[in-house]
Amino acid sequence: MIAAFEEAENDESVLCAVLTGAGRYFCSGADVTGRKATYSAADPPRVQQIKAVLSQYDPFDANTWSDVNMYDAWINFSKPLVIAVNGPAIGEGFTTLMLGDVIYAADSAFFWAPFARFGVVPEITSSITLAQRVGPMIASEMVLFSKKKTPEEMHRCGLVNEILPAGEKFLPSVLERVRTGLELSGAPQIRLKALRMIKGLIKNKAWREQMMAQNRQEQEMIRTRLRDGDQSANLKYYQAQMPKKK
């Protein structure tokens, strides 16, 4: 993901990035199993470099710094980032939306931030940006009480720009809207420069520095929660509450 963002950032033919999920879900949340990065000869050089650095850490540290580096790349992405939420967005899958510039959601999606339920804290700057996006009362309900929200609710509070029908036509519908928007953003030869200047004003240096610092603080707190064993105890508690299979 880091390499993909860096490639899109440096490719002058790319005007914006569109992020979506594969399958029925946009994202079902973070992998907190602590698995180390695995190598592949097919990895681009930048990915190999990142994995080599992460392999020097224990799994909890590797997960922490992997997310720090990945979301720093998102925060510093100078082009429009469009997010197409093709299905449920849960945990980290939900908080990634805080870094999007324009968000489209399928009508089959739901939005869930069950951090308190699973004994961790909000991440990816969402401890600040969620309240900024949806208001402090809705943000508190989502992260403290693990309240699920519908696309309609997220549209009403301003997180989602537009709700589109789910299915195979969802992504083409998003891409058509992106193409139309980009065609209206000035003459082709100045389009990228204008987009970067505008986004640079909206998400300026002070904002980017604040978001990177918040991302680090959140990831450090998550690492602490994973290390102290509380999260494992919490998961066992919820597993014990689940109905037994007959």
The residue type of 41 is A
Whole-number pLDDT of residue 55: 55
DSSP E strand boundaries for 41-101: 81-85, 89-90
Across the chain, which has 246 residues, the per-10-residue mean pLDDT values are: 89 94 86 49 57 54 66 94 97 94 97 87 90 96 95 97 96 97 85 95 96 90 71 58 52
Helix (H) / strand (E) containing 173: helix 170-183
Give domain status of residue 209, yes or no: yes
Give domain status of residue 246, yes or no: no
Q: Give the residue among 242, 221, 203, 237 at the shortest CA–CA distance from 101.
A: 203
Are the beta carbons of 126 and 74 closer than 8 angstroms? no
Distances (CA, A) of 15 to 49, 70, 200: 27, 20, 14
Whole-number pLDDT of residue 245: 52
Helix (H) / strand (E) containing 18: strand 17-20
Give domain status of residue 221, yes or no: yes
Q: Is the dihedral of CA 118, 159, 141, 86 positive or negative?
A: negative
Which residue range forms the structural domain that includes residue 55? Answer: 2-241
* Domain at 35, CATH number: 3.90.226.10
CA–CA gap between residue 40 and residue 52 (Å, rounded) = 11
Are the beta carbons of 46 and 203 closer than 8 angstroms? no
CA–CA gap between residue 94 and residue 96 (Å, rounded) = 5
Q: Torsion angle of alpha carbons 37, 40, 45, 47, nearest 10°?
A: -30
First to last CA, the chain: 41
Whole-number pLDDT of residue 28: 81
Q: Give the residue among 178, 176, 204 at the shortest CA–CA distance from 16.
A: 178
Give one DSSP letter per residue of 106-124, joined into a string: ETT--EE--TTTTT----T
Q: Which residues, other chains included, contact 206 with Cβ-Cβ below 8 Å and sequence gap of 6+?
A: none
Q: Three-state SS for 28? A: coil
Helix axes 59-75, 2-10, angle to 10 degrees: 20
Give domain status of residue 139, yes or no: yes
Give domain status of residue 91, yes or no: yes
Angle at 138 between CA 201 and CA 170, to 5 degrees: 70
* Tally of structural domains, the chain: 1
Whole-number pLDDT of residue 175: 97
The pTM score is 0.81
Whole-number pLDDT of residue 67: 72
Q: Which residues, other chains included, contact 90 with Cβ-Cβ below 8 Å and sequence gap of 6+?
A: 25, 27, 28, 29, 112, 113, 114
CA–CA gap between residue 69 and residue 61 (Å, rounded) = 12
Give domain status of residue 87, yes or no: yes
